[in-house]
Amino acid sequence: MEMKRVVVTGLGTINPIGNSVPEYWANLEKGVSGSELITSFDASKFKTKFACQVKNFDPNAYFDRKELKKIDPYTQFALVAVEEAMKDSGLNTEAIDLDMAGVVWASGIGGMQTFTEELRGYFAGDGTPRFSPYFIPRMISDIAAGYISIKYGFRGPNFSTVSACASSTNGIISALDIIRTGKANVIIAGGSEASVNEVGVGGFNSMQAMSTNNDEYKTASRPFDVTRDGFVIGEGGGCIILEEYEHAKARGAKIYCELKGGGMSADAYHLTAPHPEGLGARKVMENALKDADLTIQDIDYINVHGTATPLGDIAEAKAIISVFGDYAFKLNISSTKSMTGHLLGAAGAIEAIAAIFAICTDTIPPTINFKSPDPEIDSRLNITPNSAQKRSVKAALSNTFGFGGHNASIIFQKI
């Protein structure tokens, strides 16, 4: 079977540093931090009192009161991001085959806010089960994909991917394979997450995974810096419209770039810690290069997973050097989580947008908050510290690694 080419024709996002793609990219270039003290609940008794929250978002501007009763914030973020991407793509739903249009939407956790609210109400009562009929449909991780398909009438493949922080990258790979093999012409792919709440922050605090640098919260997300002490939790969503190349050309679509390939692997090592030598991370990048039919010299930029956890950054840096050898020191790498925080299951989607814009603008977004090198991370790696850098970007790779040892990498190329 001849594999079809897959291109990107639309982008959308709502995240801690931008409620649209242009705003997001402008703030990535400027190195803006999205971290702030938590405003969505009283975090005074929590170890971590800050997060990267979506700002200036009024759901009432997008949804009526009846709708808001039915949709968790993670689904709200999904629908907002998709709306921007669909407009950006110029897709006319009356002019395409809706049986060949699908949705693959990811969330690592789903409706955590809904789950929290419903249980709070139950335990505050007398034990009589009084649950909202919307409880389960609001909460489950696949429901955003359902809402998206209903809104746009897409009757093709429709499902959700759940693999912790690798969720939306796995979803993008699934969408790639669906279009490649002729099962769809268009896929709305991406992910959303809304876990900045008591349960999300408290749960990750208990794992000692998140930064507790409350005195310097603006700069607490410090990938590769020796003073890093964990990730900063974020929220939001990102959407990529993927389309079969000839289908896009036939309708005169704007094409950002080509999605060349994707790789997957498992650490098979530990539930929450990466393999110390980055063996799973190495394998997933090798698999992505093989799937894309590219060499290491074809890659100019890697948007790294780079969560600012003490072990994770070291393992990923080792993996990059293991795969790319001396060429690793000619690459630019950067962690945009230094600005957005970690959007968990939505991280791969918004970071894919960053990689795409790096290709389109020949600009590498920075790793901000970097002051003190870690002696365990090779200083020859160009982590694009603190300021954006200009360079030709023909192809970019984006890494996402999830709890459970789930690894996913995707490669975009200039067209």
Residue 224 is classified by DSSP as: T
Residue 226 is classified by DSSP as: T
Q: How far apart are CA 267 and CA 311, in angstroms?
A: 14
Residue 15 is classified by DSSP as: B
The question of whether 305 is a catalytic residue gets the answer: yes
Q: Hey, what amino acid is at 162?
A: V
Q: How far apart are CA 168 and CA 191, in angstroms?
A: 5
The question of whether 239 is a catalytic residue gets the answer: no
The answer to whether the CB of 349 falls within 8 A of the CB of 239 is yes
- Write the DSSP string, 350-405: HHHHHHHHHHHHTEEPPB-S--SB-TTS-TTSB--BSS-EE---SEEEEEEEETTT
List 247, 275, 305, 406, catalytic entry:
305
Residue 218 three-state SS: helix
Q: How far apart are CA 232 and CA 267, in angstroms?
A: 23
Q: What share of the chain is helix, strand, coil (3-state, %, to 5)?
A: 40, 20, 40
List 247, 275, 342, 406, catalytic entry:
342
Residues pairing with 328 in the sheet: none
- Residue 65: count of CB within 10 angstroms of its CB: 8
Q: How far apart are CA 33 and CA 59, in angstroms?
A: 23
Question: Residue 299: what are its φ and ψ, rounded to 5°?
Answer: -90, 135
Residue 60 is classified by DSSP as: G
Of 253, 251, 239, 99, the closest CA to residue 182 belongs to 99
CA angle centred on 220, ends 214 and 222, rounded to 5°: 160
The question of whether 52 is a catalytic residue gets the answer: no
List 52, 165, 239, 257, catalytic entry:
165
The number of C-alpha atoms within 13 Å of 35 and in the hemisphere containing its C-beta is 29
User: Which residues have a catalytic role annotated?
Assistant: 165, 305, 342
